[in-house]
A = this chain, B = another copy of it.
Amino acid sequence: MATPRIVDLRRGVLEKNDVLAADLRDRYRAAGVRVSNWVSSPGSGKTALLARVLDHTATLGVAAAALVGDCASDNDAKRLAVTGVPVRQIVTEGLCHLEADLVAKHLDGWDLAALDMLVIENVGNLVCPTAYDLGEAMRVVLLSVTEGEDKPIKYPQLFSSADLVVLTKIDLSDAVEFDAAAAMAAIASVNPTAPVLSTSARTGLCVDELIDHLLEAHAPGDGS
């Protein structure tokens, strides 16, 4: 479908993004900050779960911060600001994914070395964020129980790129007749190695375990 010129240009954009992402990864590694990139459908509960994580990291004495991406509005940053953790909104003005240069610009003035953990919440989209490295050490792909167990099969590129898969809204499993075995099989069919966590922002299920995973998000070569 796409013409060769457009394919070439897109490749150029991705190559430029990869260079910037590698710079970011070096900065994160030098600062010793664990960085994760959260990707999912719109409405899968990224922000609600992140609010639980940030509430809990504060009580643990973990220094966390968040960048949240949306096409429009600063709703998510407002929701997270109540946790007291540093949060910045990236408004993409219609762009369907975050890119490394947007992330770099929004880090200006933050002392990364003072942080233990940085969470980047991507724009809600199961396709377009896939190819854009943000320098993260861990890509977290979230799937809510309300979305249907077959989503990993319908969006295999993204799910295969996950370092960690997080099932969300587990408290709604009965109401939506969620078939956990079918979901696990769908995830495993496209990504047999990523750990899978079953979480609930409502009940706090597995928030501790999620934080443990996030704190283990070392970039390759990072011995800290």
Interface residues of A (CB under 8 A from B): 1-2, 5-6, 9, 13, 41-44, 70-73, 75, 94-96, 99, 101-102, 123-128, 144, 146-148, 150-151, 153-157, 169, 172, 175-176
Contacts and interface: CB of A to CB of B under 8 A. Distances in A.
A71 B157 contact: yes
Contacts of A42: 41, 126, 147, 151, 154-155
Contacts of A154: 42, 70-73, 75, 124
Given A5-B9, A146-B172, 4 more contacts: A42-B151, A125-B125, A144-B146, A175-B175
Contacts of A6: 9, 13
A192 to B, nearest CB: 17
Contacts of A146: 43, 144, 146, 169, 172, 176
A124 B123 contact: no
B125 A96 contact: yes
B71 A155 contact: yes
Contacts of A153: 72-73, 75
